[in-house]
Copies of this chain bind each other. A is one copy, B any other.
Amino acid sequence: MNSFSDRLIEVLKEKGSPVVVGLDPQLQLLPSEIKVRNFKRYGRNFRGASRSVLEFNHRILDIVSPHVGVVKLQIAFYEALGPHGIESYLKTVHLAQKRGLLVIGDIKRGDVGHTAEAYAQAHLGEVDIDGLTAQGYGVDAVTLNPYLGWDSVLPFLKAAEVYNKGLFILVKSTNPSSKDFQDRRCGAERLCELVARKVNDWGSGLVGKSGYSAVGAVVAAGAPVLGRRLRRLMPRAFFLVPGYGAQGAEAEDMRHYFNADGYGAIVSSSRAITFAYKEQSWKMKHGEKDWEKAVEDAVVRMRRDISRVVDNRR
């Protein structure tokens, strides 16, 4: 199997777009028809909610898989539904991979020692059940939190190497409070720049044929000047860029997140695509019963908007 970055570039070439669809199924936003049917069958409880989520994801995947090569699952929305929710997470990973998509588990874990090893093996590798190995969550990449430093990342680096998986390490978010710590000056640079330098180091042993590393960075949309600086600090890293659409960032702001080769960033949108029928811009055209058409229109428009920026960059 090829390294993660090579697999990523392959799927981006095939689909012709760096768009990532986020499957963040907030229960209250799911179309009623799905919830009514599943609550009737399984109960208005964690089981019925988890089955609703799974059906919703299944239908989203059928719509978006011709248009995008990568999906991102925010595990919080599955974890919130307990064991049944985790079951739907696992099944969604499987459904997406069956369609040839790469799956990023947005878990933002960060811990040390045996705990970090347990997370790394479970999410990227295999779990040892007293000598028998069992497949873990099986995603293609995960997001991580860097606060604990190198040894919290090491077990994931090892798993990434053994299983050809990828990591995206949280460098810069654009929530207002990212200034609390990420933007603090620590000597000559901001904390997020120190993190970026480490991300670049950590990924130096996992560079694929493409020249890109399996260790990428989460760099939120909407920070164009800093984005250019981070791009220089991490030339081989893929940026996972959340916050497009619902969080108000513009495609143009991301121009310098891409390298001159047109690669180097993947741009994720969740609510603005999967719940497009609730968005101001689509709800005049598509009502709730046309929610699937709204999803398709939204993903096609996002592809177009992002392509314009990438093509200009090339």
A76 cross-chain contacts in B, Cβ below 8 A: 109, 111, 115-116, 118-119, 122
Whether A2 is near chain B, meaning CB under 8 Å from some CB there, is no
Asked whether A152 is an interface residue with its Cβ less than 8 Å from the other chain, the reply is yes
Residues from chain B with a CB closer than 8 A to the CB of A132 are 44-45
The answer to whether A180 has its CB under 8 Å from any CB of chain B is yes
Rounded to whole Å, the gap between the CB of A185 and the closest CB of chain B is 6
- Copies, count: 2
Residue A182 CB within 8 A of the other chain: yes
Q: Closest B residue to A115 by CB, please name it.
A: B76
- Within 8 Å of chain B (Cβ to Cβ): is A260? no
- Residues of A bordering B, CB below 8 Å: 24, 26-28, 35, 39, 44-46, 48-49, 74, 76-77, 79-84, 86-87, 90, 108-116, 118-119, 121-122, 127-130, 132, 134, 136-137, 145-152, 170, 173, 175-182, 184-187, 191, 194-195, 198, 247
Instruction: Give 30 A-B contacts (CB < 8 Å), ordered by A residue.
Output: A27-B129, A44-B132, A45-B134, A46-B129, A79-B86, A81-B122, A82-B87, A82-B90, A83-B87, A83-B90, A108-B109, A108-B145, A110-B110, A112-B175, A113-B175, A113-B247, A146-B147, A147-B170, A148-B170, A148-B173, A148-B177, A148-B178, A148-B182, A149-B175, A149-B180, A150-B177, A150-B180, A181-B194, A184-B191, A185-B187
